[in-house]
Structure 1
Amino acid sequence: MSIARAAEQPLADIPREFADALRPYLRDLTEEMAGEIQASVPEYSRQSGAYARNVRHAVEEALAGFVNRVGDRGASRSRLLEVYRAVGGGEAAEGRPLDSLQSALRICARVAWRKLAEESERLDLSRQRMCDIGEAILVYLDEIAAAAADGYAEAQVRAAGELELRRRRLLDLLVADPPADPRAVADLARSVCWTTPRTVACVALAARVQGELPRPGLPPDVLADLDRSDPCLVVPDPDGPGRHGLLDALSADWTVVIGPAVGLGEAALSLRLARDALALTRRGVLDGRRSIRAAQHLATLMIFQDEALIRIMGRARLAPLRDLRPAQRDRLAETLLAWLQSGNATEVAARLHIHPQTVRYRLRQATELFADQLSTPGDRFELEVVLRARAAGLPAVPD
């Protein structure tokens, strides 16, 4: 049986005349209940002003609702329940626990029962009638307490939703390009109790599977928007304790690309580089099986910023490979790149897992083919760039 229905039976056992007998005491009962609430419950200890009037109004509504329900069996409950849903919502907005309201309602019941006991002889109330009225009071208070609890829960949901919206708005401001007004960022950060960090890193995410994924457990200072078409995070102090492990743990469900740590005003740059690196993981250029730190792949990101330019450079710089067989072309390009990066045949042999003599043989071939491109640092730099692009999968060598 619902609380609302359960409340009706005890009330039905009370004669309607009891309502008329009780009405003269409503003002005194209201004052006594409100006074005891404010004296006994620390959260309600303020004694004056609008706050005290609100407490008194809530008590008045409860008493009037009880008397009206006794005197008129058809009296509507909707207004009273709406009042107490609003009371519960107000408690949540004030940040008080629901226990405080429940304590206040128990005080109301105690004061009502005490007054009833004092007046029982004058009202000619039998012991059975006293029991009926006492049960009706308790069940009635359960009913309005349930309404208050509903209002409290609804307000908490609304507050959580509003907080989440503000946090997402803060994320949007942080990654805006051009940067948002620092004053707007600071104001919104204060409204969500987000401490402005010295550095941030933005994280670009892509779900590994279709469908809804479990929400990752993230610390409250990490701003997240996982519902947008390009999910992302803003991580304060990304090199702080536990941050790397936290982000690595996400890679079970997400492809995780972490942008470089930057100052707060450069968050958009961190996110752009993270998204560029994420695009390269989708193409297979970067290995996305584990979390990727874009700061470790800046040269690759730079190379892929203008692929048309790299292709033009590749056609010029790698033309000597055109007449070689594909397998020979690959071996020679790989060896030449390793030598440009290390400058030592022994290191090249260890890196490629081949004999040093094989390295020297290939380098003699490369020297013959690229003699005019190995004489100056600028030539060697461009040659390394296009060889790195080729190794990363960019088709920079003409057919």
Structure 2
Amino acid sequence: MPDPRDQVRRRITGDDAALVDHLLGVILAEIPGYQALDALQLDEVRAQIRWNVGRVLDLWATGTALTDADALRFRGVGAVRARDGRPLSVILRSYRVAARAFMGYVADHFGDALTVKDMADLAQVWLEADDRLADALHEGYQAAEAWISTDRDRALSRLVGDLVLGRHAHEGAFVARLRELGVHLPQRFTVVVLHTPASVEAVLPAMSEPVMHAVIDGTGVVVAAQADAKALRLVLHRRSARCCVLADIGANEAPRWYRLAKACLDRAPADRPVLDRGDAEVIALLAGRTDADPDRAASTVLAPITTGHDHLLETLDALFEAGTAEEVAARLGVHPQTVRYRLRRITAMTGRDPRRPWDLFVLQCARLATR
């Protein structure tokens, strides 16, 4: 005679999508913290639910117990959750919520095929498994937390590296690690890439808190809420050093900008010690990178003067074709002093001095990209 427990196990595990979605729905409804998870994190939760359900049903149908390998798996899960910054209390509660929902689901769908003892044994197996796995989860979580707290500087340096090298599966993972390390970085932040790592310590006073830094492949990288470009120029000028300031970027954008900044520092002339996103975008266009975008390059460089400043754009266009203030004035029919005033306005608004060859080149590339 077929074993009813084995039949139930086969029916559930053979098509468990409905049960997994049901348990996830209950967790989301009862635990607000899970509602903030993104799509990738929810897929991880689904996978964990599927494993738990299958393992418990196996133990129940075969009369066996959890193994050391099962406990080791959950110790690893605990360590990962500590690094992600998901609170342990919330994780443990999710297992309790899932247990209650699981037993209700089995009773509703398979109660007629099972005896009272079958249901009692299933509940006992889940509780015993949950007890042992919770201990393993807690051990892994505590061990990871201890490592983080005792070696915070290295953890911060690794976080910077993971950020700019694109090692985070999603922005939520980066935010969670920031939270666990006690770093209150805004959603949009600044990354400064230095041509020589020896300048990292020197530029830290020009960065606003919080500040994290690392040396990656011979390049210095500093991540902070904001950077004082004027202070950076002074520090770097004294050291004959250079950097690229990537302001107002998010975690998902950081790897692309880091690659562009490195290319920019390698190729842009040395007469501009502090490069920025506009320089990097122009370098991307010149290099023919697949992620280059003419409209984005033009907007990044010219945004301050594209609305309500047609006279400044007109002056720039004339400068590209002429060369001197007198020649520009003759083309536009204005006084040379007016041209010089407009050029000073362009410098103040864009941060680029048209009298400098590189700045003029970047302005011209951006202007051409809009046509």
- Normalising by structure 1, report the TM-score: 0.37
* TM-score scaled by length of structure 2: 0.40
